[in-house]
Amino acid sequence: MEKEINCSKICPEWPCTRTQEYRGVWVVGEAFEEGLSEPSLQMLSPARSIADKLGTWVEAVLLGSSEDKLRPYAEEMIKHGADRARLLVGRQLETYLPVTYARVIARSAATHKPEIIFFAATMRGREIAPYVANTLRTGITADCTQFDVDEETGDLLMIRPPFAAILLAYIKTPSRRPQISTARPNVFPPPPRDEARKGEIIVEHVGAEDNPHMRLLRVEKVGRSGVPLEKAEYIVAGGRGVGTPEGFSMLEELAEILGGVVAGSRKAVDMGLVSYERQVGQTGKSVRAKLYIAVGISGAAQHVIGIRECRIVVAVNKDPDAPIFRHADYGIVGRWEDIIPLLIERFRERCSSSCT
């Protein structure tokens, strides 16, 4: 259907794209040292249902320097619902650099014209997706929790809670393509694996990308501490109320007894008490722990959005009116300096080595 929007009037630099020329749903998969990431498989879930509604195909897109290494991941994505896979292979993709990866994806998308591109909102997905969108001069909607199709226009409806999570925003990219979106890990389950499922694997050798703004000098690996936050079953999270490295050491002790990990609010991250990798919330990670103990965390909307999937939430706060208590299954009013040593003592008695 022809759009009536006069794009060049709204923005002369971004004229409308001919939306009818775009077909197919891409899911950009992440396959690095740790193998194919779980969130890549999860994104096949909305991709499959949207492609079925639009009567089009799902294409998994994987990047790397070795076709042989990527093939098994492509097959895995096909078994989980993709119709086919595209491997973007080039020497410069040996080491992950956001701009290089984004340029390669953007160039391929400009040629093959997918109507939708999905990325998982992992740290890397969040780096690449906006760059791809900007390069292709199209919109991006991040952190969606649902997707649908506008029955009248066929546009993708990208649905996400705005800041306070009380409403749902329905966002469209009506006059530009591709429609680009991200969803957080663990929002969608991966589609079931079908061993018998087969699909074409297309290999695209990509030329070197000039990157005048960035040059790789050396790679230093930062060790990951323990279980990834998204997979942790027991989490002890600290906020500004904990306030000191000594306080966080005590949270570590409790987490260790439980066989869990330490996390933090954004304020705790800003204070350098915990790494960004361990931030829970809107601009951090969504967690789905069996037990989440929030210590000295006020319970701002941007924090609690990340703990909605936790089974049991325990809050420790000295302020009885702290909003976190509205989101907690159990609340302990008191100073953490008094409460945490008692919890450590009790849990140590009950979980002689660990509670897991």
288 with 321: CB under 8 angstroms?
no
Q: How far is the CB of 173 from ligand FAD (least distance, A)?
A: 22
C-beta closer to ligand FAD: residue 160 or 267: 267
Q: How far is the CB of 137 from ligand FAD (least distance, A)?
A: 25
316 with 332: CB under 8 angstroms?
yes
Q: How far is the CB of 263 from ligand FAD (least distance, A)?
A: 9
C-beta closer to ligand FAD: residue 177 or 303: 303
Number of C-alpha atoms within 13 angstroms, CB side, residue 82? 28
- State how far the Cα of 96 lies from the Cα of 313, in Å rounded to an integer: 37
C-beta closer to ligand FAD: residue 11 or 123: 123
Q: How far is the CB of 166 from ligand FAD (least distance, A)?
A: 15
Pairing of strands 116-120, 179-183: parallel
C-beta closer to ligand FAD: residue 191 or 239: 239
Residues that bind ligand FAD (CB under 6 A): 239-241, 265-268, 279-284, 296-298, 300, 302-303, 316-319, 322, 335-337
Q: How far is the CB of 268 from ligand FAD (least distance, A)?
A: 5
C-beta closer to ligand FAD: residue 250 or 280: 280
Lookup result for tokens 């093959």? 112
DSSP 231: G
Q: How far is the CB of 254 from ligand FAD (least distance, A)?
A: 14
The tokens for 286 are 């969504």
In the chain, the largest separation of any two C-alpha atoms, in whole Å, equals 70
Q: How far is the CB of 188 from ligand FAD (least distance, A)?
A: 20
C-beta closer to ligand FAD: residue 200 or 337: 337
Question: With the CA atoms of 64, 65, 71 and 74 taken in that order, what torsion angle do they form, in degrees rounded to the nearest 10?
Answer: 10
In DSSP terms, 87 is beta-bridged to 62, 203
- State how far the Cα of 27 lies from the Cα of 85, in Å rounded to an integer: 9
DSSP 33: T
C-beta closer to ligand FAD: residue 114 or 239: 239
- State how far the Cα of 274 lies from the Cα of 271, in Å rounded to an integer: 8
The tokens for 235 are 């989490």
